Chain A
Amino acid sequence: MRVPLAWLREYVDVQLTPEQLAERLTLLGMEVKGIEQWGADWRSVVVGELLTVEKHPYADRLHLTTVNIGSGEPLHIVCGAHNIAPGQRVPVALPGAVLPGDRHIERTEKMGIASEGMLCSGDELRITADAEGILILPAEMPLGRQLSDLYGDAVLDVDVKPNRGDALCLIGLAREVAAATGAALRWPEIAVEEAGGPIAERLRVEVREPELCTRFVGRWVSGARIGPSPDWVQMRLQTAGMRPINNVVDASNYVMLELGKPTHTFDGAAVNDGKIIVRRAFQGERLETLDHVDRELTEDTLIIADPRGPIGIAGVMGGADSEIGDRTTEIAIESAIFDPVSIRRTGHRYALRSEASLRFEKGQEFRLARIGADRVAQLTLAWAGGSVARGRVDTAPAEPNSSQLAFRPRRVSKLLGTDVTAAEQRALLRRVGIETEEAGTAPRIQVAVDPRPLAVPAGEDLVIVATVPTWRRDLAIEADLAEEIARVRGYESTPAHLPATLMPAYRPSPLKVRDMIRETLAGAGLTEVVTHALVSSLDEARLLWPEDTSEPAIPGDLAAQSGDEIVVTNPLSAQHSVLRRHLAASLLDVLSLNERQGRGDVAVFEIGKGYARVGDGPREWTRLAFLMTGAAEPASWNRVARPYDLDDARGIAELLCQRLGLPTPSYVPDARGFPFHPGRALVARAEAGSEALSGRMAEMHPDVLARWDLRAQRVIIAELASPVLDSAVPARVRVEPIPRFPEVERDLAVIVAEGHTAAEVEATIRRHGGALLRGLRLFDLYRGAPLAATEKSLAYRLVLGARDRTLTEAEVDAAVAGVRSGLESEIGAHLRT
């Protein structure tokens, strides 16, 4: 809310600078987001006095004027306005002046005659809405003074929180200033001169929905003349951020800003039969609202109607037909209290949220309906003339008394963590208008209200009863008073100390395993990325990343196998409209972005969630993906570049398994083709008891790269899921005793047909190596002469040993022979020696 200080000072004395005031309000909970210097954009605009006004010799519509600006020779200024006469004081923009909208004023020539500046309209200065005539200043304005010295003001931008609807107005903020400084609050004098006939002859009101409209106060003004408001009124509205319209609408807006009471003014002639009905709209009813949109009303919309039909949407916006216009003379004033929820829903339904509806949504002080109606009538009479009908229409004239709220000063102190005496607490409350007294009979303490009310007996504690002012609808429980006491006392005076109470039980952090993996992957040369969880619905179709493998079931990863996409029903854009199940497409996006920056070598990883819908519920589980392309080892003066390939992906998976305490993963080829290279894709799996890690790794199919418009020729992506990523406890290392007897190494070159995978060969060796085979490592892969074109040679180093003895040569030979014959018989291998 914009708060012009000059206007605020009408209700409370302010001895502080704007900056000091801003800090005091902020520390009181009324956060000042900024201070605007109103008038800072009138530069070199001064007060001048018109000496002469003559017709321009060559242009009928222009005048030649001479203007005294208090010093130097009078200025010769050409002016197009018609409301000027000698003796008037006017704003003069001197050559070099800058006006709002960054408009620069220079010496010019108009129809052959030089003009040494410009006379300004109210609109040009954004002081009033009048763009036709020159702004005529009061005669006492000192000649030559900068206009910004006279009309400039500081405007505070106050962030009023949703629970403090009462402070969304100048009076409300003046109350806060009074609480902060101890200054007295001055209410405007509200008195209505009622010179007209009884209102009953003019206006009748029928409220058919008393739940939704708890009070309706009506006033009537006859014989008003519509025109612009006085300049000072327009100026106040402008500084507060509201555009002046006419004297009647301005009166309504002025009262909203002043008292926080939204009201509405209807053209009385458009209220048929002088009867207002507050009801729900009928099916099919329509209304053209003030913004000239023809709206179809729904049956749950609360409307203001006359016997013929709707004339306004209650609390939100009036109808165009009953708008106050130039020919309006009869004015019906509505000052009502509407149900906040109903107004809020209506505002959302029609996407219409006005300054008025925002205030209604936060709830209104009941008596403000009466006060607001009177104030609007008073100001309308003052600014537009006419006569006010005698009396008001009031559907609920009985105004409730202030409510009582009991609190225990000892509990307040306990909540704040500091001893504040009961007397001090009471004194602090008095500063925000809350009177207190010691409770007679022990009342119950309201600890909580809806939606989970709780009231308890006070017990032995001293109980104070506070009388809550009617405007403070936010104060309903004991803790609310604790906040009042704390904020008036100043949060700064709360002591600071570290908690000295019991610690909770130890609980391992779920971040720990992931942090370990992150460090490991960064150490392996991969850079971490964090991408959007919301992705395009097209991404899945564009990539067709297969679902996670299903055999054997991986605990915690069921969602990935059978879940559907979760779709956002109100997305911001199609690019971010579904929750992703896989990370791979996001990594391709990262590659694409970085390629556009000229990066060819990209190696990134992400640990992020996958989301899917399983039955009626959502499932979320943690995934790990990495993408590599370009050089694994960039060229340097001492080495040539080595490109990333699928071996790197497997190496990283193996490293991860080591860190997680899982066995070396096994690999199964995946020849599905798209989105993978048909000959370079695999499923990896490592299992140890209930722990498991599994996923896919592949060089991507060239068509995928084309779909992402990538320049890269080869892109490796791996995506893994594992319950380990969500578990807090990394696997524990179990030590095996260091062998006491020497181990023996034997090398074996296994020549097999191309069709046999390394995994097969290795499995065969392990199966036949028996208990003596303690280690196995592939150290060479060879193709070419003298092998047949359909063959390859895999060279393994076998480590043989026993825990309890040194193996004899014969034992070693027998073991190797077993492996050899197994290889020969099972996969038709022969061995080179």
Chain B
Amino acid sequence: MDFESLSADLRALQQRALDEAAAAPDPESLELLQIRYLSKKGEITTVLRGIGALPAEDRPRVGAIANAVSEAVKAALAAREAELHAEVQTFRLAGERVDVTLPGRPRSRGTLHPIPETMAAIAEVFGRFGFVVYEGPEVEDDLTNFQMLNMPPDHPARDLWDTLYVDIPGRLLRTHTSPGQMRVMQSTKPPIRALLPGRCFRYEAVDASHGFEFFQVEGLMVDEGTSLADLKGLLDEFAHALFGPRKTRFRPGYYPFTEPSVAFDVECVVCDGVGCPACSRSGWMTILGAGMVHPVVLQYGGIDPERYQGFAFGMGVERIANLRHAVPDLRYYLENDLRFLEQFR
């Protein structure tokens, strides 16, 4: 054995090993090649056994060649292994393909009823202006529902509120949220900014635009110098928040508990003010009633009308919801047909 033949053997061995590694069909074959060439009893080691017959000065040279061969084989095996892994993974993933255009697994979410949702939307707007929410009783007394609101017994304006009475003397089902004004004034001191949402009742036959149960939101603001101009500014903000940039109209109205009284209109949401059946061709839709709190009412509330003044407003929640969602019939709200409710996704 001489140096030349030994190094030639190693080079041949390298070539063979590299060829075999490249052709290895699976990880198991690579394992066998690893054992055959690189293990302690592997072929490289076997070749090196002949090193003892070489002159001492040649031995390190052969050792270096053997190391290089060993590294090359290791690298070839690793490369092939990576290649095989990639092939297998590609094959596996290819087999796992799904139709990604299928509909998803349903996550069912319920919907929220438009009445409380509309109340929340109203409360959100007025909340921005410091109005805090109170709630008053639905089974009210005549005193608070009418008399303290400047409607003594037999007042002709009581006709505006046909009333349901209950079997508790002096009590009735509140016909509006306005008695809440009285309860707020009696329980707190100015400055007052209060919002009173809730259910109301009237003796009224049911049709597309009337019901005997309905919801209102009442507002009350009392302070020194709170004026009609403040009311107008606030209602404009409210209308714009709920109905977008529409024209608004402020005109005289009538309520026994306000003086001056106001009716507040927005440009018809159906025809944008052109005039259509929905707005009786006027181009306007009334969305709420309001006014400066009557001095009689302030006094019943324990507030000095010479020092303080304020405004109140009241709106029908169904009316606001109708205009926002184009609901054609008031009866939809309390009927709870899921075909209606589920549209409020």
Residues of A within 8 A of B (CB): 22-23, 26-29, 31, 33-35, 161-164, 340-341, 344-345, 361-362, 414-418, 447-452, 454, 456, 477, 479-480, 482-483, 486-487, 491-492, 494-499, 501-504, 506-507, 509-511, 514-515, 518-519, 521-534, 566-572, 576, 579, 590, 593-594, 597, 599, 602-605, 607, 609, 611, 613, 616-618, 620, 633-634, 636-639
Contact = CB atoms under 8 A, between A and B. Distances in A.
A172 B113 CA distance: 46
Contact of A340 (B156, B203, B282, B292): B156
Nearest to A26: B251
B42 interface: no
A452 B232 contact: no
Nearest to B341: A527
A491 B251 contact: yes
A743 B173 CA distance: 59
B252 to A, nearest CB: 3
B342 A527 contact: yes
A597 B115 contact: no
Contacts of A515: 116, 120
A162 B339 contact: no
A456 B305 CA distance: 11
A202 B47 CA distance: 157
A628 to B, nearest CB: 11
Contacts of A452: 295-296, 299-300
Interface stretch (B19-27, B76-84, B258-266): B258-266
Contact of B108 (A418, A569, A633): A633
Interface residues of B, number: 102
B110 A633 contact: no
Interface string B158-184: 011000111111010100000000000
Interface stretch (B48-56, B63-71, B220-228): B220-228
A314 to B, nearest CB: 16
Contact of B109 (A31, A451, A495, A525): A525
B116 A447 contact: no
Contacts of A604: 110, 336, 338
> For A27, A479, A522, which residue has the most chain B Cβ atoms within 10 angstroms?
A479
A525 B108 contact: yes
Given A509-B127, A509-B133, A569 B193 contact: no
A632 to B, nearest CB: 8
23 contacts: A27-B252, A31-B263, A34-B280, A447-B295, A448-B294, A449-B296, A479-B259, A482-B260, A494-B250, A496-B229, A497-B230, A507-B133, A509-B123, A510-B133, A522-B110, A533-B199, A567-B166, A569-B165, A590-B336, A593-B335, A611-B138, A634-B106, A637-B102
Given A415-B309, A618-B139, 10 more contacts: A35-B281, A452-B300, A486-B228, A496-B232, A504-B194, A525-B109, A530-B336, A572-B206, A594-B337, A604-B338
A531 B203 CA distance: 17
Contact of B138 (A28, A609, A617): A609
B31 interface: no
Interface stretch (B5-13, B32-40, B146-154, B322-330): B146-154
Contacts of A639: 105
B123 A528 contact: no
A479 B258 CA distance: 9
Q: Is the interface of A mostly helix, strand, loop or mixed?
A: mixed
A524 B229 contact: no
B110 A501 contact: no
B306 interface: yes
Nearest to A487: B252
Nearest to B127: A509
B167 A569 contact: yes
Nearest to A514: B116
Contacts of A454: 295, 299, 305-306
Interface string B180-215: 000000001001111001010101111000001100
B246 interface: no
B233 interface: yes
A570 B116 CA distance: 28
A447 B305 contact: yes
> For A414, A499, A524, A599, which residue has the most chain B Cβ atoms within 10 angstroms?
A499
B213 A533 contact: yes
Given A495-B232, A568-B173, A162 B156 contact: yes
Contacts of B237: 498
